[in-house]
Structure 1
Amino acid sequence: MDRLEIVDITSGMVTGTLRPAHQPALSPSTQDPFVGGNPAQPPILAGTGVQRSVVTAFAATAPGKGTTPPRPVIEILAVDAGTGREAHRIEIEPSDDSQHKLTRKHPVVIGASGPVVIAQVGTDTVAVNLDDRREIWRRPDFALGAVAGNVAVGTDTKAAVARALAIESGAERWRTEPAATITIKPGSPKIVTATGASQGRKQFFRLLDAATGRVLDESTATSSTAYNITCLHDGRSVTICQDQRQDWTGAFDDSGKWLWELPDKEANRIAPTVTTTWHGAVYGRTTNGPVILDARTGEDRETAPGLTPWLVNEHTAVASPPDASGGVKLYRATG
C-alpha cells in the first residue's frame, strides 16, 4: 500500500490522498503488491469522543545523507476522522526480519485502545501512542491476531502458544498451554477465536475471553472447519463466523454462546457465503442469489433483496451492481 484515499461516500469522489513522507518501499514499482494475496488492509479508528483518527501504516525508505545510506522506516499515519487532514505522522523502526528488501512485509495496524494503536511490523508487534507520538513497547516474534478491550492477543512465532499483552505496557496478561498449532483471530469486542490443533493433533475452535484467556466455548472442537474460520461482529451483539471452504456459517452472542449454525440438514437449509453483517442483519448469497439472515436466529429475513453488499452502515451500502456490469456502487439504505 502506498497511499490512503479519502472518499466522499455520497458521491464516490476521492476528495483527498495522503502518501508516506518518504519513498514507498513496497509500491508496485518495487514489487508486485499481489504476490501472496492483496496486502492492502483497511485503516482503523483510534481515539475517543470527538478526537477520533483514522490510522494506517506505510513501509518507506528514508533517503541517505552523506556517507549514511538509505534506511527502511515504518510510517504510522493518523488522519483526523472529521476533517480528513493529517493529524500525526510517526516514524518507527522496522522489525529485524524486514530490513532486507526481499523479506519486507506491509505493516498493518490491527487495532487501538484510546490513543494507543497496535500494529504488526514484520515479525514484531508494536504499540504507538498517538498523543505522545512515539513507540511505547515492542514484542519481537509475535504474530498479532486481534485487539480486544485493553489487550492485544496473538501467538509466538517460534512456539505455538497464544498470549495476551496489556495495550498500555506490553506486559503479559495470560497465555495458553502449548499446542501443535494455534491461530488467534478477532471475534467480538471482548472475545477472540483460537483455532488450530492440540499436541495430540485434535483440531479445535475455541472462543476465548480476551481479558482472562478463559475458554468460553469449544462445542465445535471436532468440526473439520477449525482451521479456516473467520468472524465478523455486527456492531451490536452478535458475531458471524464462516468457513467458505466447508460451506459453514454460525453465530455467537457477546457472552460466547452459540446461537445457530448452517447448514441444517434437518431443516433442509444450506449455508450462505457471508459478505458483511450490520446491526442484526447478515448479508450474503447462496446459489439462489442474495439473501439477508437474522443475526440472532439465523432465519431468512429477506430471500430476494436484490444486492449482496460488501459494506453496510445505517445510511448506505456498497455493493456490486445486480446487472453484473462490474465495479461497485453506493446504494442508499432503506427502512
Structure 2
Amino acid sequence: MYKRQQLVGTDPATGKEKWRTEKNIGDTTVESAGPSLVRVRGYAGDGGTRFDQLLKPGTGKVQADVPEGLDNLSCPFDQAKTLVCTSQNRLVALDSTSGKELWRLEDDQADGRFAPDVTASWHGRIYARTSSTTAVVLDARTGKDRPAGLDVAPVLVNDYQGLVLVGRELLAYPTRG
C-alpha cells in the first residue's frame, strides 16, 4: 500500500502542525534560504514533476519559484540578502526574498569571465579561487570583483575571522566589516 507523503510545517515550540502541502511529494530536500524562507526541491508524487521553490516556513506559502536549471545546485544563504548557487562551471546569485536571479557566471562566457571555485560566502561577499594560487572576492549582489585584501580564500567566515585551509593546516585571519 502506498503511503501519501506530504511536506508538513510544525510549530517548533509545541510540535503542532501549522500547515501541510496539498499535493503528494516524493524525494524532497528542504534547506534554509535565509531568515524567512526555506528552499524545497524535489519531485511531486503526481508522476515525477520536478519542483524547486522558496516557501515561507511559518505558512507553507510559496514565495517564489527558483529559476530553472538550478535544482541540482546547493544555494547557501550569505547571511545578508543573497543565495549563492554554485557548481564546477556555474555561479548564480539569487535574491533571498524574491528568488530573482541577480547575475550569473558560467564558463566560456562571451566576456571571457568564468565561474571561480567558491569556498565561502558571507555578508555580501563571495570568496573563491580562480586557480590554486589566486583568490578573488565578488560582490554577492552584482558579481563584480571586490578588493580581496589577502591572497587567501576562506572556507568559513563570520564576524570575527575567516578560516583558510593551507595544505593540511587551518589558519584564522581577522575579518573587517
TM-score category of the 2 structures, normalised to the smaller one: 0.7 to 0.9
Q: Does 1:328 align with 2:173?
A: no
Task: Please say which of residues 179-188 and 279-288 is displaced more in the overlay.
Answer: 279-288
Q: Which runs of 4+ in 1 moved over 4 A?
A: none
* CA apart distance, 1:166: 0.7
**1:102-136 alpha-carbon deviations (Å, 9 max, x no partner):** xxxxxxxxxxxxxxxxxxxxxxxxxxxxxxxxxxx
2:65 touches 2:99 (CA, 8 Å); kept in 1?
A: no
CA distance in 2, matches of 1:318, 1:280: 17
CA distance in 2, matches of 1:230, 1:219: 12
Sort the Cα spacing of 1:179 and 1:262 in 2 relative to 1 into closer, same or farther, 3 A.
farther
CA distance in 2, matches of 1:332, 1:197: 43
CA distance in 2, matches of 1:280, 1:254: 12
Sort the Cα spacing of 1:159 and 1:240 in 2 relative to 1 into closer, same or farther, 3 A.
farther
Q: Secondary structure at the match of 1:183?
A: strand
CA distance in 1, matches of 2:85, 2:20: 24
Give the structure 2 partner of residue 178 of structure 1: 24
Q: Does 1:161 align with 2:6?
A: yes
CA distance in 2, matches of 1:160, 1:275: 35
Q: Does 1:201 align with 2:48?
A: yes
Give the structure 2 partner of residue 82 of structure 1: none
Give the structure 1 partner of residue 84 of structure 2: 240
1:292 touches 1:305 (CA, 8 Å); kept in 2?
A: no
Sort the Cα spacing of 1:271 and 1:162 in 2 relative to 1 into closer, same or farther, 3 A.
farther
* CA apart distance, 1:327: 1.4
Q: Which runs of 5+ in 2 are unaligned?
A: none
Q: Whose radius of gyration is greater, 1 or 2?
A: 1
**1:179-205 alpha-carbon deviations (Å, 9 max, x no partner):** 332211111011111111233333332
Sort the Cα spacing of 1:305 and 1:206 in 2 relative to 1 into closer, same or farther, 3 A.
farther
1:232 touches 1:276 (CA, 8 Å); kept in 2?
A: no
**1:142-166 alpha-carbon deviations (Å, 9 max, x no partner):** xxxxxxxxxxxxxxxx654222111
TM-score, normalised by the number of residues in structure 2: 0.79
Q: Does 1:252 align with 2:94?
A: yes
2:18 touches 2:59 (CA, 8 Å); kept in 1?
A: yes
Q: Does 1:294 align with 2:136?
A: no
TM-score, normalised by the number of residues in structure 1: 0.45
CA distance in 2, matches of 1:275, 1:185: 19
**1:25-75 alpha-carbon deviations (Å, 9 max, x no partner):** xxxxxxxxxxxxxxxxxxxxxxxxxxxxxxxxxxxxxxxxxxxxxxxxxxx
Q: Which runs of 5+ in 1 are unaligned?
A: 1-157
Give the structure 2 partner of residue 85 of structure 1: none
CA distance in 2, matches of 1:171, 1:275: 38
CA distance in 2, matches of 1:193, 1:163: 14
Q: Does 1:281 align with 2:125?
A: yes
1:320 touches 1:327 (CA, 8 Å); kept in 2?
A: yes
CA distance in 1, matches of 2:117, 2:24: 33
CA distance in 2, matches of 1:175, 1:249: 33
Q: What is the letter of the counterpart of residue 94 of structure 2?
A: F
* CA apart distance, 1:305: 4.4
Q: Does 1:229 align with 2:76?
A: no
Q: What is the letter of the counterpart of residue 65 of structure 2?
A: E
Percent same amino acid at aligned positions? 32
CA distance in 2, matches of 1:196, 1:273: 26
More strand by share: 1
Q: What is the letter of the counterpart of residue 233 of structure 1?
A: F
* CA apart distance, 1:266: 4.2
Q: What is the letter of the counterpart of residue 215 of structure 1?
A: V
Q: What is the letter of the counterpart of residue 206 of structure 1?
A: Q
1:276 touches 1:309 (CA, 8 Å); kept in 2?
A: yes
